[in-house]
């Protein structure tokens, strides 16, 4: 197994336990190798990189998905949850999202806050 | 003067000296009050907020502008320069941009790196 | 209170009664000051401006939200309703949306017409 | 009747039987002539053109709708079904969509695969 | 010749004299019939429609192209010039564009104002 | 070396000789491993996949980059040239691009045709 795949697997399991297996089960019959490609590229060759702490990487991701618009709401919610695990406070996440009013417009920022509220209320429900 | 405008002016002058005057001169005859609106909303009501350090706010902005695509290249370069002033290293900025390959696609990430290279070589030329 | 905030409040209450309170209640604990920022920037510093009648501002907004795509559907519906209050006929709104086939593509235009149909049938139901 | 409209009608009825009537019924009171415009422009002046087989046109459409993001999911599903009629295999469609990870980002590609899975399971259910 | 094509030609010649011939010359060898399709669909089946005055249609177009971002700058400039012919003042156009800060973000609005400034200074130079 | 990287290198050298070295030279000091990541993910794990011929993959890519808009013009031109090597005729490419008027709007389609014209005239100049 290549080093990037190994690193990607370790990090992916830490952040989203079971994700590779879920992708494989859901999409593997249609797109063989897709789950491994996600783990290798997104986790092994991106999130596992040095030079920017994981917490900061989640700021970047949450900002981008908010600005790109609400059609990425499922992924935005996954990454808000991931950002919490990586050490971001609810406030830091909300600030990141609200700032996107400047770049993606008000509707995108408000849709992003709605996604955050959903994640945070699940969190609090589990607490 | 309202508090948000006052705070916005202080921060805007610190980060982009002369920006309000430049906006006023360039756009004020067409859109009166536009320069003040930018200072109040973008700086006073967004960047000057508590809850997320300025350095982190620039990570969010650089990520979003990269993912939204190269048509924001002028603003991306301004914000890369702003991020440097707010304490981001060249490496942290490059990592933020490259990670956007996952969300805005490879062309957007590569266009973003090109913008960063331009800013960094101006920086190094001035050193 | 600054003049833009005062003007924004007056116009926001006229167009969307209770909106500021709703934003404050929903998002205020996460992003303090966000409701006021929306009222000041969107209403006081944009919609309340001179130089373009409110009716025309809604044409612009409905066009943009349609072209940007269906992920802004909640906001598109709010603004279609707002445009009706500002004097746009159902036909004028439908024409604005359909024209977006040229700029945002056919799917965006059709999604926009669907949003309009929802608003108009609520209207007719209330008549 | 113009030649493009005639060709458009023939092709549209072949690919999506009843579509023009459905559009007319749903939108015709609001936007008279819209159904005919779709048939003439989209089918008569685009899909019916020579120079690129219909199968290849569906690859292009599926790729674009995937990359543009999930807000076009209804239209993406219609075109995935259309692509199947035009001779694309499930695998070819899935490959087209997954490749969009490179251009529209991972979330867009995964949203696209979800749309395909829905269409394919309806297909298999009907078989 | 169909009615929509006839109407489209009349309006297109009025608003952009010579446009169909220019499109034909530039793109006709690659995409036969493309110029006619633009005239029929964009002018005959959209801009020539009743129900919304031409001046208002340009507000919609300028708003959408601004919000979609600067990559449409050439077309934005053409439509700003078209809007002037259809009776929009420089101020009305600038207000339309600046309002897009709310929906397409600040960079898009500022890029739009830059396009307007270019068109307006050409205008004034010709006066 | 992993199999995907090996396959990616072979295909990348065939389609864009020297690309990995160019990426490494231009971006490697800022983002170590980025060139290899592009080769592995874009070529080894995407373009080299079975299930869709390379020619069809270029239709998908050209369609997506056109619909996403002109800010991807440099990459659109690279992929138009790549599509030619993979067996697409000039006409097939032009048809793919023009069809995007339906999904990305007229300006995006026209910007795409302009990119194609540039590539084709370089081609003809070299002939």
Burial of B74 (0-12, 13-18, 19+ CB in 10 A): middle
pLDDT higher than 50, residue C77: yes
* pLDDT confidence of residue C125: 81
Mean per-residue pLDDT over chain C, rounded: 94
Mean per-residue pLDDT over chain A, rounded: 94
A3 Cβ contact partners less than 8 Å away, ≥ 6 residues apart? A44
pLDDT higher than 60, residue B126: no
Residues C35-66 have pLDDT tens digits of: 999 999 999 999 999 999 999 999 999 999 99
Q: How far apart are CA C63 and CA E62, in angstroms?
A: 9
Same domain for A82 and A38? no
In chain B, the residue whose alpha carbon lies closest to the alpha carbon of A49 is: B95
Same domain for A24 and A12? yes
Could you say which of E46, E68, E92 has the minimum Cβ distance to residue C99? E46
Same domain for E92 and E61? yes
Tell me: ipTM over 0.85: yes
Q: How far apart are CA D84 and CA F80, in angstroms?
A: 26
Q: How far apart are CA C38 and CA C15, in angstroms?
A: 14
Q: Is F110 on the interface with E (CB under 8 A)?
A: yes
Q: Is B111 on the interface with F (CB under 8 A)?
A: yes
Residues F31-82 have pLDDT tens digits of: 999 999 999 999 999 999 999 999 999 999 999 999 998 667 889 999 999 9
Could you say which of B30, B34, B65 has the minimum Cβ distance to residue E107? B65
Same domain for A22 and A59? no
| Structural domains in chain F (count) | 2
CATH value at residue F87? 1.20.1290.10
Same domain for E94 and E63? yes
Neighbours of F84 (CB within 10 A): 17
Which residue's entry shows tokens 């030079």? A51
Q: How far apart are CA F39 and CA B21, in angstroms?
A: 47
Give the CB-side neighbour count of residue F115, counting CA atoms within 13 A: 29
Same domain for C77 and C21? no
Please calculate the CA angle A115-A119-A120 and round it to the nearest 5 degrees.
115
pLDDT higher than 70, residue F127: no
Same domain for F108 and F65? yes
Same domain for F118 and F67? yes
Give F126's pLDDT tier (boundaries 50, 70, 90): low
Q: How far apart are CA B1 and CA B40, in angstroms?
A: 10
A61 Cβ contact partners less than 8 Å away, ≥ 6 residues apart? A79, A82, A83, B63, B99, B102, B103
* Dihedral Cα A94, A99, A105, A108, nearest 10 deg: -20
Same domain for C28 and C15? yes
Percent of chain F with pLDDT over 90: 91
Burial of E75 (0-12, 13-18, 19+ CB in 10 A): buried
3-state secondary structure of A33: coil
Q: Are residues E52 and C104, on separate chains, in Cβ contact within 8 Å?
A: no
Same domain for B68 and B16? no
With contact defined as beta carbons under 8 Å apart, do C104 and F105 qualify?
Answer: yes
Q: What is the mean pLDDT of residues F76-103?
A: 96
Residues 18-37 of B with CB under 8 A from D: none
* pLDDT confidence of residue E127: 46
Nearest Cα neighbor of A56 from A81, A16, A76, A83 is A83
Which tops the pLDDT comparison, C127 or F55? F55
Residues D64-110 have pLDDT tens digits of: 999 998 667 889 999 999 999 999 999 999 999 999 999 999 999 99
Give the CB-side neighbour count of residue A79, counting CA atoms within 13 A: 30
pLDDT higher than 50, residue A127: no
With contact defined as beta carbons under 8 Å apart, do D64 and F104 qualify?
Answer: yes
Give D125's pLDDT tier (boundaries 50, 70, 90): confident
Domain boundary among B10, B32, B49: B49
Nearest Cα neighbor of F57 from D17, D10, B70, D94 is D94
Residues A74-106 have pLDDT tens digits of: 899 999 999 999 999 999 999 999 999 999 999
* Residues spanned by the domain of B81: 53-127
Could you say which of A30, A70, A75 has the minimum Cβ distance to residue D113? A30
Neighbours of A47 (CB within 10 A): 22
Residues B71-84 have pLDDT tens digits of: 678 899 999 999 99
D58 Cβ contact partners less than 8 Å away, ≥ 6 residues apart? D79, D82, D83, D86, D88
Nearest Cα neighbor of D23 from D34, D15, D12, D13 is D34
Burial of B124 (0-12, 13-18, 19+ CB in 10 A): exposed
With contact defined as beta carbons under 8 Å apart, do B35 and E122 qualify?
Answer: no
Helices (H), B28-105: 34-38, 54-68, 73-85, 90-99
Neighbours of A54 (CB within 10 A): 18
Residues B21-69 have pLDDT tens digits of: 999 999 999 999 999 999 999 999 999 999 999 999 999 999 999 999 8
Please calculate the CA angle D94-D97-D98 and round it to the nearest 5 degrees.
85
Q: Is C65 on the interface with A (CB under 8 A)?
A: yes
Residues E35-75 have pLDDT tens digits of: 999 999 999 999 999 999 999 999 999 999 999 986 678 89
Interface test with F, best of A9, A49, A60 (most F CBs within 10 A): A49
Which residue's entry shows tokens 């446009």? E19
Same domain for F61 and F38? no
Same domain for B37 and B67? no
Q: Which residues of E touch F118 (CB under 8 A)?
A: none
What Å distances lie between residue B21 and B13, C70, D113, E65, E107, CA to CA?
Answer: 10, 38, 50, 27, 18
Q: Is E90 on the interface with B (CB under 8 A)?
A: yes
What Å distances lie between residue C92 and B122, C48, C70, D25, E93, CA to CA?
Answer: 50, 22, 20, 19, 19
Please calculate the CA angle F29-F35-F37 and round it to the nearest 5 degrees.
120
Domain boundary among F49, F69, F89: F49
């Amino acid at each position: 197994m290549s080093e990037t795949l190994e690193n990607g697997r370790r990090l992916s399991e830490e952040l989203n336990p079971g994700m590779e297996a879920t992708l494989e089960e859901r999409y593997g019959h249609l797109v063989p190798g897709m789950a491994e490609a996600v783990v290798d590229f997104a986790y092994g060759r991106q999130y596992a990189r040095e030079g920017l702490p994981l917490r900061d990487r989640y700021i970047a991701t949450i900002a981008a998905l908010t600005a790109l618009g609400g059609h990425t709401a499922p992924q935005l919610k996954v990454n808000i949850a991931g950002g919490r695990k990586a050490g971001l406070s609810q406030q830091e996440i909300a600030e990141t999202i609200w700032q996107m009013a400047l770049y993606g417009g008000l509707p995108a920022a408000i849709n992003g806050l709605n996604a955050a509220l959903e994640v945070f209320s699940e969190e609090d429900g589990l607490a």
